[in-house]
Structure 1
Amino acid sequence: SEEAFTVYDHPKVFIFKKSDAYDSTYVREVLSAVDLSNVIHLTPKQSSTPVKDLMLTPARLEEQRNGGTWSQIFNPDAPHNRYQILGVFLWYFSVGLLGLAVYPLARYLLPGLADKGYPLARTIGLLLLSYLAWLAGSIRIPFTRGTIGVVLLLILAAGAFLAYRQRDALREEWRSNRRYFLMVEGLALVIFVIALLIRFGNPDLWHPWKGGEKPMDFSYFNAVLKSTSFPPYDPWFAGGYINYYYYGFVFVGVLVKFLGIVPAFAYNLILPTVLTLIALGAFSIVWNLSENLPHKKYRFLTSLTGTLGMAVLGNLEILRMVLRGFQRLAAGEANIIEAGLFNKIKWTFVGFYKAIGGTSLMLRPDEWYWNPSRVIGAEHGGPITEFPFFSFLYGDLHAHFIALPLALLALTWSISLVLKRWAEPKNHPSWPRAILSLMLGGLAVGALRPTNTWDFYPYLALGVLALGYSLWNWRNESKTKDNLKWLGFMAGGVILFVALAHLFYKPFTHWYGQGYTKIMFWEGSHTPLSDYFTHWGVFLFLVISWMFYETIHWMAHTPVSALRKLKPYRDLIIGIGFSVLVVMAVLGINLSSGNEEKEFFLLGLGVHIVWVVLPLMVWAGVLLLRRGLPIAKRAALFLVGTALALTLMVEIIVLQGDIGRMNTVFKFYLQAWTMLSISAAVGFGWLFSTLERWPRWMRGIWQIGLACLIGMAALYPLLGGMAKIEDRMTIDAPHTLDGMEYMRFAEYNDLGTSMALDQDYQAIRWLQENVKGSPVIVEANQVEYHWGTRYTIYTGLPNVVGWNWHQRQQRTSAPNSGVQERVDAVNDFYNTTDMGKASDFIKKYDVQYIILGQLEQAKYDAAGLEKFSAAEGVLWNSVYQDRDTVIYWVLGDW
């Protein structure tokens, strides 16, 4: 029969009557047996798209729960953990050895680089080791020390084989470039030691006011180290997996797990290591882009400038802080921000006089290292303006910081393609080398997606452009006339590269649920020019100086008659110029109607920086299109334009859900910092090589200006570093590299209670030593950035729920994340006096350990907490007790 007739037009009707056997209690019991908390609500359109609930499958959950015994992975009594200096040597030697092992591969796959990528070898080594171990774990080969050891042996064996095959070239390279190798190793050692001493000065993994996101980072880091397979289990959402770009923790943690270095110690080794890798990456890129300098003797200084700009210097906010401090001393209650220029100058001198007389600037210690990361004031949205040294100094092992060495590797690979001459004897490239180089590029660029997704697409685009440019040059060198064939070949190469970048990390994207996917126009306030120059002043000074010099040099060597060649393009040039002016007017003029919510959008956005940024972009574009320009110069100018474009882009668009464009500015500003620091250093090299030709007065003014700017930017690592070392939770904590040690000496006041953190420290150490596998624990749930979820943070054991807002952000793609429900359930569990409800909670979340410490006693009702002692021996047993802290183990037979 016709289904539409029987189903839609004339459906069968049933009428039910309640019988005498009806029992409302039985019905309620049957319906209550079904858990409705995870019901998925979808529209018909959404139902056609597969939904990721972000929960581990039963099989994966079981293997995660059974694996990851902390005491089997880490032995605090091992020599390299007991004697920290031995652990430091072991760590540094291991990272260096890994770099040496892969250098023969690096020099084979990065032939376009003059230094053959030696400074990047450590990064490549860690990437290969972590990737192969992660890939094995993703297909459920256990992520254990044994698996990592096998992968490491394969890498060492492959490195030895390639070194033997290249032994003559390597010997010659050592003879001719020994000084360069020693310079790189010396630079690495200096950066690492200085950074390590800063961490030794303040190794603490938490601070009550400036603790940052170390709790999340360390919790996830521990969970990754303890995980048996990938994706790693979510320590802040028991039963789920981490729906966050977690690969960075694998990248820096794979050697930690293999060597068995205690995580709280390893954390303070990783931060200096990442900074060192950043410094080496910048050094290598600038070195290779400086190959055509007129005077080779300035090449090291040029490369060192790139390292300092990328990894050491700060912005100019410290200067502004000091000036405002002077003004505040003299102005009293007056508003120094909105005051006129004359008053500001007057107050500056008066305040300076008071300051040298001994009056304090009234700045808190944390302001010296914190304020430069928030250059754009709260009145303009207050986005984050971090830079690499701040990220290191603040100490959050966050995705953006770990990704920087990988981003520099991706950029280096792109530059290697641009600088490489593909043509070899008989105009044929080495196909194995070309394919393997594409694989390295795909591996490096692709790694950014699971490490820090914000970096993936910009560096993928740079890789595509570099590959296309390189293949086009190969076409020109081969002198082929079959353009269609070469266009197809270029397209094939680009498609293969993009495909590899995606396919290599398919195990990540298979599980990952993207929560925020829409780009929107930014309708809030925009960055003032004063804030823009405060953040970018040093780099802009060098870049503008360099482009000014290049323009003069160009004009001096271009006859006036050459302008006639532009006559056929006159209309095009006029059109482009007019278009630029229109864009500047549309973006730069703010025709507000007086109502902030109804700005005249079509005629003005009020993007103040466009009046500076867009002309600089056009200027850089014109310079890089000159004929006969060295490719290295062209690449540096391209980086200038790209970086400036990124800083302009964040004034126009924002990722949906990004409050106050905080992360949009933050993430893209770091990319711009990378490109501008490198290109500014290259410009510095060209300028410094030609200073002797400048008029003496001009040379003096420029050198003084540059020295002042660099000196002011150098105040940040000096003053910020000293302030960070002093800004500890307690002055009684010793200087060490153990990030947990502060807990033994600190007291914390919250919820009207003073808590001795030593109690938590001792209980955490007991859990680390005695708990088998990775069972679920429950502890007090606190507001973000407070002392909460501390047992999960330091043990990596999965908690019922962690930080509320962070989990809701990371699980926003799930139809019903249940985060708030879990937060409420934890609070109800501790407060309830009903044993039935307590046992239901334990069953639902499979809780095996219950924490009852000072925090729980301060936060929850005393009547509810009495159930723990009352039900001892029935529902749970106490397995640890020290002063006010008790740990209960849930009995299995009830």
Structure 2
Amino acid sequence: MEYGVVVRWWLFFQVLLVAGLPLAARLLPNAPDRGASVAMPLSLVVVTLATLWVGQVAFGQWVVVALFVLFLALSAWLARGGVEVDARPLAEVVAVFTVAFVFLVAVRAAADGVHPYGGEKFLDMGLVQSLLRGDRLPPQDMWFAGERVVYYYGGHLMTAIGAHLTGTEGRFAYSPALAGFYAMAVTGVYGLAGTIATRFWDGDESEADGGRVQAVTALGAAGVAFAVVLLATGVHWLLLAVPAAFVVAVVTRSRRVRAGVLAAFAFGFASNLVTPVRLLASRSDLVREAVAAAGIKSSREPTITPDAFDSWDASRIVETGINEFPLFAYLNGDLHAHMMSVAVLVLAVAVGLAYYRTPEGARRRRWALLFGGFPVAAAAILAVNTWSFPSVAGLAMLSVALADPPPGTLLPERVAHWGERDSAVAAELQRYALAVVVAVVVTVLGLAAAWPFVRSVLLSGASNQTPAALPEPSQLGAFVLAHGVFLVAFAAYLTARIARTRLGWAAAGLAAWGALLLAFSFDPVVGGTRVGIVAAVLAGPLLAAAWVLRRRDEVGFEGVLVVAGAGLVVLVEYVYLADAASYERFNTVFKVYAQVWALWTIPAGAAFAALASRAPSRSHARTVGGTALVAVLVVSASVYGGLALTAHFGSADDATIDAFEHVNDERPGEAAAIEWLHDKPGQPHMVSAPGVEPYSWQNPASSLTGIPTVAGWVHEANYHSQAAWDQRVSDVGVVYETTDAASRAALLSKHEVRYVWVGPVERERYDVARMADEPGISTAYATPTVVVYEVNQTALTEYRT
């Protein structure tokens, strides 16, 4: 195990924390931790955007070090008067980050390195390695030699920045970088949920004890949850005893810590309800029939037993989409955009919360947050995960629309009075219109702040995505299992804000059952096309309730986030982006649902904290009931994690964060040649068999080393163009098979090839010609498995002339 590397990366993130505090404290001056929970991503975003601009001219370790030193100097200048942060909240931030970081490092150390199966690890590793080899941005495309990447590489750039600053090779940077992105996200949701929970309404929280649940109540509720889930699922008792004990420890804490820890749990460990419900279905015919009738993906059985558990299944129950959740994604181990962008999305949430809490009279601060903070977050997330860019603009819109100050007060007084409306309806419509205008301005400013990325990637790549409408709708069962934890938590929380009597709760319960029956029984067809209503019927009321309660000041900023997530869930039921890489809305659901989970974990922490609370105005029965509900949801959402981690660590061999572990263990002959290539400086071009069958063992050398190959995975047909990809595939075939040395030489010169890789895939696919005796070509490295030919372009040119 490479402990020194892990320690260096942990220290790197602590430097980001300290350096980001002066800015974070200005962003969230009234937060208990003064914004410390988002200081790390804030620092990383600033450094990355600066690197994005400078990198168009020069990029490398010294450039990154120089920019980072400049950022540290700026931070020191901002902190010249001191930054006051209470020791306890700051220590909590460090502790939460450290626990999450160490947890995921352990997960990665027990994994088998980087491989192409079941994910995008080859793509992600290749991008990081290409960046570390490159001397300017965008990096050279490791699967399309001679061309620049036309893919959102911002998160990989952040990884490369960390690797340069810690002096880490890419093969060892992959895992601690992934752990850092995970830990920053967990820490961010912890801090923001705790900050939101410090403001409750109607006096239902006791300031003296923070609404802590008494130990006896917590033990009883956790015991009931433990027994119910144990009997329902049949998993080993120890897997449920730990989360039950976790509930007891958490609900007896203050409301801030309770909300923060439960939000961190919801993001960092919780799963959807697929696993516990399918386990229950195997023990109950009634549940099995209900799951089958409600509908899940056709390739998934409604039942499962603990012995037949497969960690993959829970992320694939939506018929036309991927319903990943964070624990699945980070266990799978891709260093992919939708996982790296969460920390930036959380930072955007922090900007929205800061705007929401800024008084009406602080006009300059409100302007700075809207047209400074949001565009910076938008620019960063555009480069990290372009799919999330609209969500930042949407957060800006909702923050303005649902905050207390009228948007018109952003304008100078001599202008604002022109927009005053006597009608309440007109004033409300004006509020939303101005919020849309703000979103448009944020979008434009975000594009401008990330212009190097826009110019070199968004405007340069092949556009294979087109808007489409009315996809195959979600089935009731799949939708409820994917979002059920949040749907139940938010429904109970919002109901608690308005239901003051048992009659009110009974009415809410009947309404919920009515919505389920409507979604189950009504399947409208318009013009021959099925129009889904499941999301509208189940998530729509949450959106409407949260919106109305926020405008009535019955809920706080958590209501804004409930609206944001529910809006995205409903949106993808009706519109999506069709692309050549996937079927119908498959990719849209994947990318959007990942954002929904991240957005909803923060208000979920606040909702859990409010439901599990002891308050003077609440009856003992409501306290017990709310605590029991939280306990059941937490324990149920932990079943997947217990089973998945048991299987993950049970199959581990040696502990290492070396990305080359898989190839070293499984393909030593190829590993030796890859190690040889890995030591070569720069980015000389190579030829290898194109990856026409993705997610299989193809293009290992270019993917693991960052040395560009002429034609890599078939993904490049989407990134560049189908015609260009096809031409390169044809060229590669000629290079391997032609008996005409002149034709081979012409193509090797055309693509400026330095190395020709002949491994198992190449031998299987092509009738590889003898090349070593041809002018300009010699055997550079050979194992019983792989031969690497070296091409002398000078000798090749002389031969051709």
1:246 paired with 2:153, answer: yes
Name the aligned partner's letter for residue 374 of structure 1: R
Residue of structure 1 in register with 2:317 after alignment: 375
Name the aligned partner's letter for residue 206 of structure 1: H
Q: How does 1:279-678 map to 2 (within 5 A)?
A: 279-293=186-200, 294-295=205-206, 296=210, 297-323=254-280, 361-363=307-309, 367=310, 369-376=311-318, 380-381=319-320, 383-421=321-359, 423=361, 435=368, 438-467=371-400, 472-473=405-406, 480=413, 482-484=415-417, 497-511=442-456, 512=458, 513=461, 515-524=463-472, 526-553=473-500, 589-591=522-524, 600-601=528-529, 605-626=531-552, 629=553, 633-657=555-579, 658-678=582-602
Highest CA radius of gyration, 1 or 2? Answer: 1
Name the aligned partner's letter for residue 116 of structure 1: R
* Equivalent residue in structure 2 for 1:800, among 685, 704, 710: 710
CA shift for structure 1 position 702 = 4.1
Mapped to 2, the partners of 1:546 and 1:459 lie a distance apart of: 25
CA shift for structure 1 position 186 = 1.0
Name the aligned partner's letter for residue 76 of structure 2: A
Mapped to 1, the partners of 2:464 and 2:500 lie a distance apart of: 48
* Equivalent residue in structure 2 for 1:227, among 116, 119, 134: 134
Residue of structure 1 in register with 2:97 after alignment: 188
Q: How does 1:729-878 map to 2 (within 5 A)?
A: 734-746=654-666, 757-769=667-679, 771-782=680-691, 783-804=693-714, 806-812=715-721, 817-861=723-767, 864-865=768-769, 867-871=770-774, 874-878=775-779
**Is contact 2:37–2:192 with CA below 8 Å preserved after alignment?**
no
CA shift for structure 1 position 671 = 2.0
**Is contact 1:587–1:606 with CA below 8 Å preserved after alignment?**
no
Residue of structure 2 in register with 1:715 after alignment: 639
5+ unaligned residues in a row in structure 2: which ranges?
211-253, 296-300, 421-429, 505-510
Mapped to 1, the partners of 2:593 and 2:708 lie a distance apart of: 34
CA shift for structure 1 position 224 = 1.8
Change (3 A) 1:199 1:811: same
Residue of structure 2 in register with 1:33 after alignment: none
Name the aligned partner's letter for residue 599 of structure 2: M
1:26-64: CA deviation from partner (whole Å, max 9, x where unpaired): xxxxxxxxxxxxxxxxxxxxxxxxxxxxxxxxxxxxxxx
Residue of structure 2 in register with 1:568 after alignment: none
Mapped to 1, the partners of 2:694 and 2:643 lie a distance apart of: 29
Mapped to 2, the partners of 1:543 and 1:590 lie a distance apart of: 25
* Equivalent residue in structure 2 for 1:269, among 176, 179, 194: 176
**Is contact 2:611–2:626 with CA below 8 Å preserved after alignment?**
no
Change (3 A) 1:246 1:309: same
Sequence identity (%): 23
Change (3 A) 1:154 1:850: same
1:157 paired with 2:157, answer: no
Normalised by the length of structure 2, the TM-score is 0.82
Mapped to 2, the partners of 1:470 and 1:616 lie a distance apart of: 18
CA shift for structure 1 position 721 = 2.2
**Is contact 2:193–2:259 with CA below 8 Å preserved after alignment?**
yes
**Is contact 1:196–1:269 with CA below 8 Å preserved after alignment?**
yes
Between 478-487 and 145-154, report the one with greater CA deviation: 478-487
**Is contact 2:398–2:564 with CA below 8 Å preserved after alignment?**
no
CA shift for structure 1 position 704 = 3.2
CA shift for structure 1 position 468 = 6.4
1:799-834: CA deviation from partner (whole Å, max 9, x where unpaired): 001111x1112124xxx6410221232123212222
CA shift for structure 1 position 738 = 0.7
**Is contact 1:203–1:735 with CA below 8 Å preserved after alignment?**
no
CA shift for structure 1 position 718 = 2.0
**Is contact 1:776–1:799 with CA below 8 Å preserved after alignment?**
yes
Change (3 A) 1:682 1:890: same
SS at match of 1:518: strand
Mapped to 2, the partners of 1:744 and 1:482 lie a distance apart of: 69
SS at match of 2:399: helix
Mapped to 2, the partners of 1:837 and 1:309 lie a distance apart of: 59
CA shift for structure 1 position 157 = 1.4
Mapped to 1, the partners of 2:329 and 2:495 lie a distance apart of: 33
Mapped to 2, the partners of 1:224 and 1:468 lie a distance apart of: 40
**Is contact 1:588–1:609 with CA below 8 Å preserved after alignment?**
no
Mapped to 2, the partners of 1:697 and 1:467 lie a distance apart of: 38
**Is contact 1:101–1:159 with CA below 8 Å preserved after alignment?**
yes
**Is contact 1:113–1:416 with CA below 8 Å preserved after alignment?**
no
Mapped to 1, the partners of 2:478 and 2:532 lie a distance apart of: 15
1:769-807: CA deviation from partner (whole Å, max 9, x where unpaired): 2x2321110112242111111110111011001111x11
Q: CA RMSD in A?
A: 3.5
**Is contact 2:688–2:757 with CA below 8 Å preserved after alignment?**
yes
**Is contact 1:620–1:640 with CA below 8 Å preserved after alignment?**
yes
**Is contact 2:163–2:173 with CA below 8 Å preserved after alignment?**
yes
1:681 paired with 2:628, answer: no
Residue of structure 1 in register with 2:248 after alignment: none
SS at match of 2:531: coil
SS at match of 1:838: helix
Mapped to 1, the partners of 2:746 and 2:501 lie a distance apart of: 79
CA shift for structure 1 position 599 = 5.7
Change (3 A) 1:520 1:109: same
Mapped to 2, the partners of 1:290 and 1:703 lie a distance apart of: 16
Mapped to 2, the partners of 1:710 and 1:587 lie a distance apart of: 27
1:695-731: CA deviation from partner (whole Å, max 9, x where unpaired): 4455444433432221121122221123234457xx5
**Is contact 2:354–2:369 with CA below 8 Å preserved after alignment?**
no
Change (3 A) 1:689 1:695: closer
Name the aligned partner's letter for residue 223 of structure 1: S
CA shift for structure 1 position 146 = 1.2
CA shift for structure 1 position 160 = 1.7
CA shift for structure 1 position 587 = 12
